[in-house]
Every structure is written in C-alpha cells, then in structure tokens.
Structure 1
Amino acid sequence: MNTHSSYSPTRLGVCGCYIYDARACQRTYLPQVKLESHTTILSTASRTVMRQKFVNQSDHTLKEIRYAFPLFDGISVVDFVCHIGQRTIYGLVKERREAKKTYDVAKTRGETAALLEQDPDAADVFKTTISNIPNGSSIFITIKYIQELNHDAEVDGIRLTIPSSIFPRYGYCPGNLQKRFGMVAIQGISITVDVCMPEGIPIRKIISQSHPIEVTLGSLSTSTIDEDVSISRGSAVLALQRIEFRHDFILRVVAKDIGIPQAILKTHPTLPNQRALMTTLVPKFNLKTEKPEIIFIVDRSGSMSHQIPTLVSALKVFLKSIPVGCMFNICSFGSSHSCLWSESKGYNQETLEEAINCVDAFQADMGGTETLAAVQSCFKMRNKHCSTEMVLLTDGNIWAQQQLFNYIIEETKSRDVRVFPIGIGGQVSSALIEGVARAGGGFAEMVAENEKLDRKIIRILKGSLTPHIKDYRLEVK
C-alpha cells in the first residue's frame, strides 16, 4: 500500500506514552496521571521544566514503550531525566547512531534505558523510547528546555506557547508516528509561568486567550512573604486543574519598553571566566516602501476546515490594504493547486472586487496539503522584472519540511524574492512556519483561535513592502 496516498490527516494528536504493536499497527496508551509545567520568562527568553507521570497498569514488564511529545520551534532541550521505580536515567548528548547503539545494548541486557531524539522530518517532534518497564511501576519524565520568545504584534508584547500536541501532518509520517488509535485524556494539569523583566521595566499585563489563568503582578510564584513587591515581576497559573488540554497554551506579556534593544549577560555557575551574552536588536530603519508583486499562497486542504473563516478574514484585510501600483495573485492549494489568474494583475478596484469574490467562495475542499508543489509553481510563474513577496497562509500540518526549506533557500538566493508565512489555528507546526520564514528571508506570524488579525496582517504587509537590502554590516562598539 502506498503510504502517501493512504494517509489522511485527522484531528487526533500524536502525543503520549504508548506501547506499539507492529503486527496490529496499533498503539495502546498508558494513562497519564499528572502534568506539571513551570516556565520562567527572563526578558525575551524562557526556561521550562516539564514533569509528567505515567503508570504501567499491566500485569507484566513492558519490553519497550514510546513517548512522542511536541516542542515549539527554536527550543533547545538542556536536560532529560526519567525515573522508573528505583532507577533513574539521566540524558547524555551523543551522536544519533551512537546513542541508538547504546540504548539497544542496554535494552538487550534487560536494563531500563531511555532514548530521546528529535525527529529529522519535523523539528517540533521529539521522541523518547524507554525499555523494560516493570508492571505496576510509575514513569516520571522530566524535560528542561530553553527558548527565545517571539514578538506578538497584536499586543506589542512577547508570546509564550506551550504546545498541547502535535497535529497529524500530511504526507508520509516517518517511523512509528504513522498511525494513531485511541487517546488518553490528560488530567491533573498544572501550568505556572513566572515573568522577570529587567529592573525598572514595569509589567503592564499578563493575558491568555487560550486558557483561564490567575495572574499576580508584583511577585513570582516562588516569592516569599518577606520579599519586596517589584513592578518588574509577575506570575500566571492555569486556573483549572482538571481539564482536557486540547489547545496550545498561549501566554502574552506586555511590558513597558519591550521594543527597545536589550542585552542579557549570564555567568556560568561553575566554570571560571565563562559567560554568555544574548542581545535583542530592534531595527528601526526609515526605508521607502516598494511596490512589489505579492502572491498569496493559500492552504485550502481538508485540515483547514475549521480555519476557513479566519483565513478569509485575513485575506480580506490583506487585499484591502495593498497599495495601488502593486501586482498581486492568489494561489490556492491542497492535493493540487490553482491560481486566480494565469499571471499577476495590477491592483485596482476591478481586480480587488474579483479577488474578494473569489475569497468569499473559499472552502476547505482541495484534499491533502501539497505545499511544496504550490510553492514551486508560484516561483515559476512570478514576475521576474520586479521583486516578489510570497505570503503563505497555512495550518502547517505537513511532514518532509526540510525538502520545502531547501527549495525555498535555493530559489531565494537572488534576494529578489521573500516568503512570509502565517500560521493559522491553534495547532500550527511552528517548525514549519518559522523554518519557511528563515529560508525565505521573511518573518512569521501566528494567528490562533480568537486572536485579532489586523495588527499581525499589517505587520506582514509592511514587511513585504520594504526594500530588499542585500548587504548588511553590524558594528558593535
């Protein structure tokens, strides 16, 4: 059977701890008893400690279990610890093949071992394989990771996302993530976020539209009674402890002067004379706008069925904001792709009305998600006599992401084309969206459910109208 054609996306996630039966192509999930997440935001970076507990309720030792879990793009895992009964397994960084060999040897000996690896086909999919789990035992998994946080244009603040699950991706699903049967709902969820801004920079608000939270300004969740109240500190706690965690947890922090350049210097706690510096540079160039060709590449696959209203709203804001004198076109894609016109047309009242009528009729009725083929077609049809801005609107549910990145990198070497991706929905693959932005020389925006579109759309449009500057020089004094 052809895996590409037989696999169809569904709305079930693939995150969890499970036993995989290769003969039946079936997963049996272990019940998850507890999930605790504690994040500390320091200016524009964060550190998260995530703890999960699973239980082997069977009457026999499990030879091997697997655990797939989602991490946002740009995250670096810095620690992995697994407790099973009286045994503790600590993670060590090794080359992929060497790590797999070490794991297989320990498994053959009957030892309890674990292997944590990142999926090469999707940067936001990590997998853990654990061997020899005694009956009745509990599995405690602790993962620590760090990341740099993105700007949120809607509130002009920073945005923290804790993903709930990895949505099914279209295309060949690599390795053991191909099929999913059954799901165990997560109960006993605790999410705590502490926010520390530089001294003297007040936190104005901490908000979440994805989940109900309790917010405290002036102190951290770890603060003692004797500590002074600080305008630069705050914390948020998920208010409901027993819910099904079906959507990404999105937290936004608004603070004064968040848009000014900042630098954080960190001294190593044990190694002498070792420091790390993280800088946030905020470019404010006064550049003249251009009138490029703008091609909207629009995902109308089946997985977009719940996102069509958001997609249509976003496109209408875009279309009504294009400056007169630009050329534009719309390419819809799914299993196949088609364009509004055979070539881009000049922006005027007549072409705007034709485009609006086309967008109003959009449905998620084009099958699968063949993103690469649509992007290739747009690069081939673009106007070679002017700069081109491509705006990709998608929920990002595809595998084989690196193939798409490589193509975009190759095609944008001339530096007269840029790609600006917009992730739509609450379960977007951040690895795809951020990866396309890096490859295409643009920047990304995420639009989750119940979020306002206007500011994010205008930010993308302003970015697409800036000149293509090919050479930069940075001087640090």
Structure 2
Amino acid sequence: MYNVILFLLVPLKSIEVELEVRDHVATVVSTLNYENKEDKPLEAVFVFPLPGDAAVCHFSAEIGKTQIVAEVKEKQKAREEYDDALSCGQQAFLLEESDRSPDIFSLSVGSLPPGESASIRLEYVTELAVQADDGLRFCLPAVLNPRYQPQGSEGAGVQVTSVPASLVPYSLSFSARVSSPRPISKVESNCSLDPLQYLNTDQTQATVKLAAGHKFDRDVELLIYYKDAHQPTAVVEAGQASAEPGSLMGDPVVMVSLYPEFPQSVMSSMASCGEFVFLMDRSGSMGCHITNSMQQETRISSARDTLLLLLKSLPMGCYFNIYSFGSGYEHIFPKSVEYSQQTMEEALKTVEQMEANLGGTEILQPLKHIYSQPCIPNQPRQLFVFTDGEVGNTKEVIDLVKKNSDSHRCFSFGIGEGASSALINGMAKEGGGHAQFITGTDRMQAKVMQSLRFALQPAVVDISVTWDLPKEVSVTVLSPPIKTLFQGQRSLIYAQLTGQVAEGCVTVKYSLAGHPSENQLHFSLRPAEDTGLTVHRLGARTLIRSLEMDERESRGQQDGGVKEKVVKLSVQSGVSSSFTAFIAVNKDNSEVIQGPLVRRNIPTPCEFISKEKTKTLSISVFSFSTIIRSSCYFIFVFPAAAPEQPPRDPLLHLVSLQEASGCWLLDPALATALGKTNKEANSEVWATILALLWLHAFKMDAKDEWELLAMKAASWLQMCAQSVTSNKLAVNQNFYSYFSTAVLPLI
C-alpha cells in the first residue's frame, strides 16, 4: 500500500536531450521548456544532476523571438546580478554548480510572466568512461536522491525537491548520434531504445532514440561498443581565433588517449598478497531495490552476496577486513587479519547478518579510521567502497582519498539509481583505482570481480610522460600526473601547445613487476577538422578541477591566488566551476514585470525514501502548514513490507561451500548443490573437480564472477598432484589421467 499526497503541476513541461558521441567524447545539448499557466509571475528553481566530470560550456534562454546567451562570472557577482534584475522586474536566468558536489547544478528561471513560455538551452561535454568489457559508458543522470548531510559539516546541504519517479510532471525525449573512425558494433541501454540505425555502409555512424513512454525511474545509460576499441589516438584542436595568443583558448590543445599494453608474462600471474579492506554502506537507503521493480533484490542483499564472492576469491597469504557504516561505523576485526579458513568463516557469519539498519551515510569517519591504521609491510592496501552515493560532503571525501593515495588503491562502486558520479568517479580517480556503477539489471558480482582482477594486477610504478617535439614548440600539460595504469584501461592527457609543427610523439614509461616498459604514440599536430572547441573545453575542465582541489588543500595557507586562477580560467574558457556561474539578463524587454514573484521548486525523480533517512536528510520538504500556505504538494511513497526472499542462487550456494584454500570438501550440501548423491562425491579432490566441471558446464555465462575462485581451486589441485608425485605415493591413475585431460585445460 502507498500513501499518496497530490502535488501541484510545475512550470517545467518537457526536456529534450540531443547527444552527439564522437569516438569517446560526448556533447550533450538539453533544452528545458517552461510555461507559466498561473496568474502570477514565477521564479522556477530546478536542482538537478549532471555527470560529475562534465564541462558545462553553454547556457542560453529563448523567450519568444529573443535569445539571451549567458556569460560566466564570479559566482557571488552572478548571484547579485540575478537578484538585482529580479528586483527591477527584469527576466534573469542563473545556472550554478553546487559548492559541495560538482555533479549537482541549480537552474533559476526568474520573472516568467503569466502565460509566458521560455526555452532554456544547456550544453556540456564529457569523456566516456571505459568499462571492463571495453564498452564506453554514457549516463544521462535523471534520478537525484536526497543527499545525506553529515553531522557537524560546514555549510548548507544541497536542497533537493524530490518526488517518486512515476509522478514526475514533465516528459523526456532523448536521441543520440554516434560516429567513430572504427565501426560501431552495438549500442546497449538500461532503457528501451528504438532500433539502432546505421547511416553509412561501413557502420561508423549511427543514430538511436529513447523509445516512447520512458519513465523517470532510472538514469539513461548507453553502452557503446566499437571494433578494435583499444587504439591509441591523438586529436589536435586549433585555438580560438578571437582568443588571446598564448592563452589556453588561443593555442592548439592536444588530447592524447593511451592504452598501455602490458607483457603477457606479467599479466598471466595474479598477485598473491595484499591487504583488502571492504567498506560497505549500510545506510537506510541500501534497503531499497537496485531498480524500482519490486521483483529485484535489494542493494544490501546484493552487496552481501558480493562480499561472499570476494571473500572466496581472495588469495591465500593476503590480509583483509570488512567495515560497514551508516550514522556510525563498525568493523569485523580490530585490524586487518591474515586470510585463512577460520577468519573467512568468522567474517562470513557477520556478513550474513548485515542489514541496511545503520541510519545515515557518514562515510568520512570510517575512511579516516581505515587510513589511520598502519599499512602491513609487503601487503599493498586495496580499498573497495560500496555505496549508493547519497552523501552531501562529496569534496571532503574525495580530498581525503587523495591525501592518502600514496598508501592504497581505491575501487569504488555506485549502487542503484542516483548514485553520485562525482563521488564514485572521484574516489577511484584520486585513489588510483577503478569505478563501477551497478544499475538496472546489472549483477553487482560480475562488475566487482572485474575490479578485483585490476586490484590483483601488479602495481605500476615510476610512471612518467615525456614529449618529443621540435625546439620551437613548447608544451604545457593540463592534466594531473598519471598515478595508475591498468591493462586495457584508457589514460587521457590534455596539453596546450605553443608553436606550429607537423609531427609529435608522446612516451609513457613505467615499471611493472620490476620490468621497465614504455609505450609510444606518434601523431600529427595538424588540427583536426570540425572539432569545435570540445578538446579545449575538456582540457580547461581538467585544469579547473585540479586547481579547485589545490585551492581546498591550500586553505589557511599563504597561497590565496588559486581561486582567482580558477575564476579567470573559467571566464576565459566559458566552462563552469565551483567559483563561477552562468548569468543571463533580458535587458531588451522594456516592460517591467509587475506583481510579487512566486517561487516554484521543480521536483526531480528519486527512489523510495527509507524511514531511517527521513530524520536527517537535507531535503527541501515543506511542513503541512507550509504546504497549505504555498499550495505546493509533494508525494512521499513508502514501500509495503518486503516480499519473501527468492531461493538462493545455485552459483552462490556452490561458492559458499568453497574453502579458503580453494578446495571443496566432501559434504552432503555440496552434493545437493551439484545435483549429485553423496556417494558420487567421494573425496576432496573429486569434489573440487566436480565443482569446477559444474561451473564450466552450467555457469559459463557468469564466468566473470567465478573465474578467480576457480583458478584458486585449480591451483589447489595442482599442488595436490605435485605433492603426490614428489612423495611417490600410490596414485589412482584414472584420477590423474582425468585431471590432466579434463581439469588442467580449464585453468
């Protein structure tokens, strides 16, 4: 049963989104259509999500036949100009980034007269993240869950007006055009799409649209696959003719995309050591379903299954610990312990009891505690963070991860719709790890195991980038230093070039498992045609984010000029920052808008709000008396009692029976999991072989999930064979013949 309270229709009527993807860069143009059907002038305020790494580069308004293009100005000045315009009866428009999280923006449409319509155009560019399966991920955020404001945090929290996704009063249309030098293999989505339409015979250009009837119950995710995606590239973009020579916008900018290839001899062996620290979100919202379908498992139940798989896949000889957090935090062991059958079983008993019952989302304190623990010699620390990302102190968390980046690698996982892309991507980027998002029908286990493979790769050290250019050409690197490299993962470098030449070369040198290696890319410095200023804006965004982090680190110190540098660069490049805002004022309208201005908050879709979080959420929710006074009504939906849990997945049942060493024991439960009688499983060796064969016979579609623990089982079998041979014991020849022909090929 649901409790429903009606809400008043809002002036935002529709959103139209046009996406253009060129190789691995996306340009997004959103048009927001407003109409005031009330008898009073309105101020419409819309707080909405954007990708955390987006470079917002254009903002304009069209009223009738008048178009007003916004300018980038220092944030406080822009706010004052907006307020002054409204007080004078003028129309004004303000777009600003949240001070606390770069993936939340606020759009204010001021003085919209009765019966008037307005179209707001917003444009941003962003890079597409490479997934472990080589797909490029684009996400159009739609869901904005209220962000938890930690106790004692400085500054006001992000004010979010939210309603359940099914009751959002405006529509969304979405279309995408994809082009690449390489053929487009396929485009997948978590939403219903019309069929992909190729525009040429070599399949390097295609279009796709969101199917009619889309509901705002999820972010719109596209996964784009190219043939031969792992090709290093360099794109040089000519400077802006009207910009000052020698400035970032006036000089050419190069974007270099590198895919380091590691020696196969090194990659064939996974690390057998490390300290693995798992940090699990157990706030109230983790009790929500991963999607809004009541048939799906909850976030916390999927997380429990994932922890089971991780614990079974860890190598013998490593160390581990598990933390969980909500309003406070807990840990299974006082400090990380050596991985063994006993410690694994003790941890699993606690994991099985984990529920989403710890209240808010205080992620900062457990992170501080983890970082305060001394590192274990010769056991590199690998931190895995699982959260739905509904936190309000995003920048503080990212800054803390960066501060401790020399002592660990951080792998982050955003669970469910509305997880903060700024938080998840920022933690992984600053922690030298990898980010994953689990939405829709995604299995968390498969994506987490992909990250575990990265964590088990040898750490790449001594990374350096050198440029081979003629003497008359200088290079200014805009990107921060590369801190981590993974097999098959892309690294992007932006650089400003001064001077004109034909050819250049960039070399990345590094050491892997004690072996020095290098990768080179030769490229033409002739500007590519028809690239606009996309590369310049992405380069400016990259430099702005680095400077913003430097500014936070330098607070209270002598260097007070970083903010001024950010503002200057933001204004010069036309790219938003945390210290600037877009402001547009309609000065052509001679008529003064009469009457008191009524504010209307535009709601964003959110998922179910759990009772544990309603006490502490920083959300713009009106009291009943306020609702009566303003005639604004909001909807709150609470799910009915959770349905009975479905029977356990057979794969997870089998995994739960594996020993820490990698073998399976003679046990009636194993026979049941395999569909065998107890008499058919007559030894640990045979039980382990049967388990491996069952995995290969019936669960090949989930190989990404069990491959590591199967490798551990095969290694255990090899040790058994070597032990028997070295001790010259009597051997069952049939078994070892079967082992050699049936089991070893599976390793």
Q: TM-score by structure 2 length? A: 0.55
What's the offset of the Cα at 1:179?
A: 5.8
Deviates more, 1:313-322 or 1:453-462: 453-462
Choose which of 38, 54, 62 in structure 1 pairs with 2:18: 38
Report what 2:38 is aligned to. 58
- Does structure 2 retain, via aligned residues, the 8 Å contact 1:215–1:234? no
Report what 2:743 is aligned to. none
Report what 1:434 is aligned to. 425
Secondary structure of the structure 2 residue equivalent to 1:365 = coil
1:239 maps onto 2:211 in alignment = yes
- Does structure 2 retain, via aligned residues, the 8 Å contact 1:33–1:188? yes
What's the offset of the Cα at 1:468?
A: 4.2
What's the offset of the Cα at 1:48?
A: 0.7
Measured in 2, the distance between the counterparts of 1:392 and 1:382 equals 19
Measured in 2, the distance between the counterparts of 1:246 and 1:109 equals 40
Measured in 2, the distance between the counterparts of 1:368 and 1:346 equals 31
Equivalent residue runs for 1:244-263 within 5 Å? 244-263=215-234
Structure 1: which amino acid aligns with 2:229? I
Secondary structure of the structure 2 residue equivalent to 1:472 = strand
Q: What is the number of equivalent residue pairs in this alignment?
A: 436
Choose which of 108, 118, 125 in structure 1 pairs with 2:104: 125
- Does structure 2 retain, via aligned residues, the 8 Å contact 1:292–1:388? yes
1:73 maps onto 2:56 in alignment = no
What's the offset of the Cα at 1:313?
A: 2.8
Measured in 1, the distance between the counterparts of 2:440 and 2:448 equals 15
Choose which of 219, 226, 236 in structure 2 pairs with 1:265: 236
Choose which of 389, 407, 410 in structure 2 pairs with 1:396: 389
What's the offset of the Cα at 1:373?
A: 0.8
Measured in 2, the distance between the counterparts of 1:452 and 1:337 equals 26
Equivalent residue runs for 1:123-272 within 5 Å? 123-153=102-132, 155-171=133-149, 175=156, 177-178=158-159, 180=161, 185-198=168-181, 201-208=182-189, 210-219=190-199, 228-240=200-212, 242-267=213-238
Measured in 2, the distance between the counterparts of 1:48 and 1:86 equals 24
Report what 1:475 is aligned to. 466
What's the offset of the Cα at 1:28?
A: 6.3
Residue deviations 1:72-119, cap 9 Å, x none?
A: 111011111122345433111111122222222222221101111100
Measured in 2, the distance between the counterparts of 1:283 and 1:416 equals 23
Report what 2:360 is aligned to. 368
What's the offset of the Cα at 1:458?
A: 2.7
Structure 1: which amino acid aligns with 2:420? S
Structure with the larger strand share:
1
Measured in 2, the distance between the counterparts of 1:285 and 1:463 equals 13
Change (3 A) 1:89 1:28: farther
What's the offset of the Cα at 1:382?
A: 4.8
Secondary structure of the structure 2 residue equivalent to 1:460 = helix
Measured in 2, the distance between the counterparts of 1:341 and 1:194 equals 51
Measured in 2, the distance between the counterparts of 1:181 and 1:321 equals 40
Choose which of 339, 347, 362 in structure 2 pairs with 1:347: 339
What's the offset of the Cα at 1:445?
A: 1.2
What's the offset of the Cα at 1:180?
A: 3.3
Choose which of 69, 91, 97 in structure 1 pairs with 2:70: 91
Secondary structure of the structure 2 residue equivalent to 1:101 = helix
> What are the ranges of 5 or more consecutive residues in structure 1 without an aligned counterpart?
1-11, 13-26, 220-227
Measured in 2, the distance between the counterparts of 1:346 and 1:181 equals 45
Secondary structure of the structure 1 residue equivalent to 2:463 = coil
Measured in 2, the distance between the counterparts of 1:346 and 1:329 equals 9
Structure with the larger helix share:
2
Report what 1:20 is aligned to. none
- Does structure 2 retain, via aligned residues, the 8 Å contact 1:310–1:424? no
Report what 1:5 is aligned to. none
What's the offset of the Cα at 1:203?
A: 1.4
Measured in 2, the distance between the counterparts of 1:469 and 1:244 equals 44
- Does structure 2 retain, via aligned residues, the 8 Å contact 1:395–1:424? yes
Choose which of 429, 435, 441 in structure 2 pairs with 1:450: 441
Change (3 A) 1:271 1:314: farther
Structure 1: which amino acid aligns with 2:188? I
What's the offset of the Cα at 1:122?
A: 1.1
Q: TM-score by structure 1 length? A: 0.85
Measured in 2, the distance between the counterparts of 1:176 and 1:343 equals 34
Flag the structure with more relative contact order, 1 or 2, with Cα contacts below 8 A and sequence separation at least 6.
Answer: 2
What's the offset of the Cα at 1:317?
A: 2.5
What's the offset of the Cα at 1:138?
A: 1.5
- Does structure 1 retain, via aligned residues, the 8 Å contact 2:21–2:177? yes
Residue deviations 1:340-376, cap 9 Å, x none?
A: 1112122223322332332222211111110001111
Percent of residue pairs bearing the same amino acid type: 29
What's the offset of the Cα at 1:301?
A: 0.5
- Does structure 1 retain, via aligned residues, the 8 Å contact 2:178–2:206? yes
What's the offset of the Cα at 1:448?
A: 1.3
RMSD between superposed Cα atoms in Å:
2.5
- Does structure 2 retain, via aligned residues, the 8 Å contact 1:215–1:236? yes
Report what 1:419 is aligned to. 410
> What are the ranges of 5 or more consecutive residues in structure 2 without an aligned counterpart?
244-249, 289-298, 468-504, 506-747
Measured in 1, the distance between the counterparts of 2:417 and 2:432 equals 25
Measured in 2, the distance between the counterparts of 1:472 and 1:181 equals 45
Change (3 A) 1:91 1:309: same
- Does structure 2 retain, via aligned residues, the 8 Å contact 1:316–1:356? yes
Change (3 A) 1:181 1:232: closer
What's the offset of the Cα at 1:160?
A: 0.7
Secondary structure of the structure 2 residue equivalent to 1:457 = helix
Change (3 A) 1:392 1:156: same
Measured in 2, the distance between the counterparts of 1:337 and 1:214 equals 45
- Does structure 2 retain, via aligned residues, the 8 Å contact 1:333–1:369? yes
Measured in 1, the distance between the counterparts of 2:447 and 2:423 equals 18
Deviates more, 1:250-259 or 1:439-448: 439-448
Choose which of 379, 390, 398 in structure 2 pairs with 1:405: 398
1:461 maps onto 2:438 in alignment = no
Structure 1: which amino acid aligns with 2:208? A
Structure 2: which amino acid aligns with 1:248? D
Measured in 1, the distance between the counterparts of 2:287 and 2:362 equals 16
What's the offset of the Cα at 1:474?
A: 1.7
